Amino acid sequence: MIIIGTRGSALALWQANYTKDVLEKKGHAVEVKIIETKGDTSQQWNTSFDKLEGKGFFTKELEEALLNKTIDVAVHSHKDLPTESPDGLIIAGVSSRENPADWLIMREECEDDTRKFSLKKGAKVGTSSPRRKSQILAFRPDVEIADLRGNVPTRIQKLKDGQYDAILLAAAGLERLELDLSDFHVEQLDPEEFIPAPAQGVLAWQIREDDYKLTDVFDGICDYDVMININIERRILNLLDGGCQLPLGAYCDVELNDQDRKLFKVWVSCADAWDKQPKQLYYETTNTEDLPEKIVEHLHRISAKNIFISRDTHENNSLNRWLTNLGFTVESKSLIDLKKLTIKELPKSDWLFFSSKHAVEFFFMQKPDIGTTKIGCIGKSTSQAIRELGLRADFIGQSTDTKLVGKQFSARVGLGKVVFPIPRDSMRTIQWQFPKQQNVIDLPIYATLKVPHEVAETTDLLVFTSPSNAESYLEKNKIHPHQKIIAMGEATKKSLLKAKVKETQITTPTSFDDLGLFRAILSTL
């Protein structure tokens, strides 16, 4: 008989019974035993996780029961485990990964599609996780944070009772419990943007180190691909000496690259405290040797620098705010001027495609009647600009490779016709991916005029948002060997290379939005 120890919450019991079912299918006799933990008995405390002392808040009693041989296996939500097991215990295996994302669950009257995460201005958001507090405030500094305790059904009930406008919870737990959330608006937060806790969505099976029989049992059901990924995430946590109290998100995913080799992609968000600006990094590699160590070393090396960004922004712009909160000096100034071109007649089409926020702005300021025309765009920033008009994009290209986006969009459109609102001097990279050019209609809606400006030679990093901005910069400035460059998109990079800028100085971000640029800046510096 294998005795499984678990906490008594509905979610913990689901995890234990899931494990029981898996083991029974392998022919084992299994019993589930409930163990009360400090985390369960303190649910009524008005205390957030960042104020709790010690690690293993939800696991200590289960581990003691294992060592005392009261139980044979402890089933944990892996994200709740300390990074180091007590002497005599090991993690014998891990489950497949369920949805790793966080969900923002809000009362329907608090939904606002024009704002980030569809949440109204000034909303009261419930969470006791320092990680979630840190990241939601980075994106939405206007919201009010309130501590939230209790098991999952209790937290949902508190939202229903109106104690909060919205709450943040792990998607995996909610999906496992199959709770009815039909009364709420649920926004799934992209784990590459809103970074989850290390090992979120994964179960850990903990046993005694000398229980060799169970070692073999769990070896047969362990998901070793998931184990590799979460070991990277948890090693980062270990190196930073963190637990539930550390505002750390770490997420590792794997895909095959062009050479059919495993490409490990790691996203990290880490702050000194929940109310401090988190540092955000993205790292990709085919070699995982010392990968967590390299990431943590880079986090420690980041220091404030002088940055020039070739666009006009206000001081509350997300990117400017994130950088200045970390001590960076930022000069934001567009080196081009945009002149509106009047739309005489909007051609009939099946789709509209926008490649920038400027295109959205200049097109819709002329109040065109688009009827039921579908909308496509590239990048989260352009998508957000469309949302702020009360509209939704039917296609969003996420890659910085505009040729790839063009091919994907062309496949989606099929034989339909597309109007492209564009600058007069557009390079038409996306349009050229359409096999039938007669289905492509260019609609010039603004012209680009260069406005050169002198930038201090002491600037450490130059960010060019377009080819025309890069060309305008070079009319009055030189690029010096000590300066690093971020080029928004391959077209901007090509423009710089044409001007004899060294390729080793240039980096391109993984996405066109503010977050992608922020990560590129921190990775470069």
Residues designated as active site:
80
Dihedral of CA 464/469/473/479: which sign?
A: positive
DSSP letters, 99-154, are ---EEEEEEGGGB-TTSGGGB-TT-EEE---HHHHHHHHHH-TTSEEE---S-HHH
For 280, the 3-state DSSP assignment is strand
Output the CA–CA distances (angstroms, integers) from residue 196 to 93, 201, 319, in the order listed: 21, 9, 21
**CA gap 118, 333 in Å, rounded:** 29
Q: Which residues fall within 8 angstroms of residue 273, CB to CB, at 6 or more apart?
A: 50, 130, 134, 247
> Which helix (H) or strand (E) is 168 found in, with range?
strand 166-170
**For the chain, what is the largest distance between any 2 Cα atoms, rounded to a whole number of angstroms?**
81
Residue of 438, 468, 433 lying closest to 356 (CA atoms)? 468
Beta strands 351-354 and 374-378, pairing class: parallel
Q: Cα-atom radius of gyration of the chain, to the nearest Å?
A: 26
**CA gap 218, 164 in Å, rounded:** 41
Q: Which residues fall within 8 angstroms of residue 477, CB to CB, at 6 or more apart?
A: 454, 455
Decide if 131 contacts 251 (C-beta within 8 A).
Answer: no
Residue of 393, 330, 321 lying closest to 357 (CA atoms)? 393
131: β partners: none
| Residue 311, token pair as written in the block | 């666009």
Output the CA–CA distances (angstroms, integers) from residue 115 to 193, 363, 385, 393, in the order listed: 16, 21, 10, 15
3-state secondary structure 393-423: CCEEECCCCHHHHHHHHHHHHCCCCEEEEEE
**CA gap 247, 137 in Å, rounded:** 12
Q: Which residue has the tokens 């901005």?
A: 469
